[in-house]
């Protein structure tokens, strides 16, 4: 049992699976963005090259930085998004593995990457990093409450706090947003909040390259920066799956449902990219 849990966390559907798909999805984002801007865009393996190149660079801790927070923050965000993906895919592949209150656990875990940015930026001893961390904190205060309310709307409708219950309900009755106007509104709100959680335009104020360069990431380099970039790529994969699980019938992989699941994800991803651009 322990060996199986380690495999789930490290390989599938945990870290390696989410990291590889996340980097590929991030490439799709860059490629579509390039086409919109009349550019060719990078090859499919570019994100992998960038990631491994950063792993080989030197890690520099700024003088005066809070060493523990500065070094721990990237790992904290990576663990958070890995657990989000692990739980979501476990529930989608087998709804019976769901446990009471798992949706609350998912909401808490999805905040960890943002908290990691705040801790990292605040610990960097750089005023621009501190400004970026402050903006990330304000963004959390703005988007988390409506996101939580939106996620809980369909859960209240079915009277359960289990992800498995809402997946089973949608398998039997169809996608959640087709039943109630409130679920449609909740889906729109959750989508916009997801855009903010991903810190993509128009909610990219923590980085704001034109003002504060890289914001909270300004002092990061080498493997630590690689972990932050990987976390963002993994979030771009995990958060749309979260929305699909709650509102759009979940991710099913049996027969024709496999293609339909991929289509749902791609539609969400393309909408994210179009809004970003």
Using CA atoms, how far apart are residues 72 and 68, in angstroms rounded to an integer?
A: 6
Report the pLDDT averaged over residues 41-49.
Answer: 96
Positive or negative CA dihedral for 42, 48, 53, 57? positive
Provide the pLDDT confidence category of residue 238 given band limits of 50, 70 and 90: very high
Provide the pLDDT confidence category of residue 22 given band limits of 50, 70 and 90: very high
Q: What is the pTM of this model?
A: 0.95
177 has a pLDDT exceeding 90? no
21 CB contacts (<8 Å, ≥6 apart)?
Answer: 237
Per-residue pLDDT, 145: 96
207 has a pLDDT exceeding 90? no
Report the pLDDT averaged over residues 225-232.
Answer: 97
Q: What mean pLDDT is reported for the chain? A: 93
Using CA atoms, how far apart are residues 248 and 265, in angstroms rounded to an integer?
A: 10
Report the pLDDT averaged over residues 182-203.
Answer: 94
Largest Cα separation within the chain, whole Å, is: 58
Chain mean position to CA 102: 17
215 has a pLDDT exceeding 90? no
Using CA atoms, how far apart are residues 141 and 62, in angstroms rounded to an integer?
A: 29
């Amino acid at each position: 049992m322990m060996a199986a849990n380690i495999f789930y966390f490290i390989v599938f559907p945990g870290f390696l699976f989410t990291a590889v798909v996340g980097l590929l999805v991030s490439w799709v984002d860059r490629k579509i963005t390039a086409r919109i801007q009349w550019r060719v865009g990078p090859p499919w393996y570019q994100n992998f090259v960038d990631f491994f190149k950063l792993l080989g660079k030197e890690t520099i801790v700024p003088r005066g930085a809070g060493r523990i927070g500065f070094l721990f923050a990237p790992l904290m965000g990576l663990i958070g998004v890995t657990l989000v993906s692990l739980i979501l895919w476990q529930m989608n592949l087998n709804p019976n593995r769901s446990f009471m209150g798992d949706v609350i656990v998912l909401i808490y875990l999805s905040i960890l990457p943002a908290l990691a940015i705040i801790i990292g930026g605040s610990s960097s001893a750089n005023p621009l990093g501190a400004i970026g961390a402050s903006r990330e904190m304000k963004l959390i205060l703005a988007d988390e409450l409506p996101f939580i309310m939106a996620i809980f709307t369909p859960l209240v409708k079915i009277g359960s706090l289990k992800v498995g219950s809402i997946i089973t309900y949608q398998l039997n009755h169809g996608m959640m947003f087709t039943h109630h106007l409130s679920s449609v509104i909740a889906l729109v709100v959750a989508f916009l909040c997801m855009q903010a959680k991903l810190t993509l335009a128009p909610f990219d104020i923590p980085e704001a390259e034109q003002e504060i360069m890289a914001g909270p990431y300004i002092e990061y380099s080498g493997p630590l920066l690689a972990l932050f970039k990987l976390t963002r790529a993994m979030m771009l994969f995990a958060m749309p799956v979260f929305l699909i699980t709650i509102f759009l019938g979940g991710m099913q992989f049996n027969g024709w449902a496999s293609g339909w699941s991929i289509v749902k994800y791609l539609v969400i991803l393309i909408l994210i990219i179009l809004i970003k651009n």
